[in-house]
Amino acid sequence: MATQQQLPYRGGSGYVARSSSSGLYDVLELILDKGLVIDVFVRVSLIGIEILTIDARIVIASVDTYLRFAEAVNRLDLMQTETQGLPEMMEDITEGGASKKTKGILQGASEALFGEDEEDEEEKEKEPATKRRRSSSATAKRRRASGGSSSGSSQRRSKSS
């Protein structure tokens, strides 16, 4: 523990999902909401971005969310003893951690922002850093999974659909 003082953080235990600033999705809030600003000169608008920063808070207290919670607790007894094991958690972490499991607002916002041409772009742009590719492919994976493919994550997805 004491030997790695100066090393950059690598999520050594495997229990913490980590992303650098290159993961746009994770820094969106900061870039758009925080930082120095001279109000009269903020001219650039972003279509669809408000969904993440504003609507998310409203959605939390919505009927849709309530119904989803109700459905989720009803489902619980069906998998009474089948609690989430370590391998599955590890998969979650490598695929982008908590965000993957949470269907709804955040995913919706990211799709609204990144648009449907995400996968095309991914192929077109070979150059960008691997970190970015990783975040693109995770999004693509989520979309595919929600479409009902047979990837590892579709099992989880199907529980909530």
Partner 1 sequence: MTVAQPETAKYVYGVVRSEGASPPRGAGIDDVPVGVVAHGSVAALTSDVPVDFLEAGREELLAHSRVLEEAMEGAVVLPMRFGVVLPDEETIHERLLAPYAEALEAQLQEMDGKVEVTIKGIHDEEAILREVIAESREIAKLREAIQGKPEAATYYERIRLGELIAEALDDKRAAAAPQIIDRLVPFAVDVRVGDPVHERMAVNASFLVERARLGEFDQAVDRLGVELAGRIQLKYTGPLPPHSFVELGAGV
Considering only residues 91-110, where is the footprint of partner 1 by CB under 8 A?
92-93, 97-99, 101-102, 104-106
Q: Is 78 in the site for partner 1 (CB under 8 A)?
A: no
Task: Give the count of beta carbons closer than 10 Å to the beta carbon of residue 152.
Answer: 14
Which among 28, 36, 19, 23 is positioned nearest to 52, based on CA atoms? 28
> Coil, strand or helix: which one is 28?
helix
71 lies in the binding site for partner 1 (CB under 8 A): yes
For the chain, how long is the longest CA-to-CA vector? 57
Minimum distance from CB of 94 to partner 1 (Å)? 13
- Nearest alpha-carbon partner for 93 in 13, 154, 26, 1: 13
- Pick one of 58, 66, 148, 151: the residue that binds partner 1 (CB under 8 A): 66
Does residue 58 belong to the site contacting partner 1 (CB under 8 A)?
Answer: no
d(CA 80, CA 33): 41
Q: Under the criterion CB under 8 A, does residue 31 sit at the interface with partner 1?
A: yes
By the rule CB under 8 A, 19 interacts with partner 1 = yes
Q: How many CB atoms lie within 10 A of CB 39?
A: 5
Whether residue 107 contacts residue 51, with contact meaning beta carbons closer than 8 Å, is answered with no
Minimum CB distance to partner 1 smaller for 106 or for 140: 106
Q: Per rule CB under 8 A, is residue 140 in the interface with partner 1?
A: no
Of the pair 80, 150, the CB lying nearest partner 1 is at 80
- SS3 assignment, position 2: helix
Q: Does 154 bind partner 1 (CB under 8 A)?
A: no
In the region spanning residues 33 to 52, those forming contacts with partner 1, defined by CB under 8 A, are: 33-38, 41-47, 52
Interacting stretch for partner 1, rule CB under 8 A, among 76-84, 137-145, 146-154? Answer: 76-84
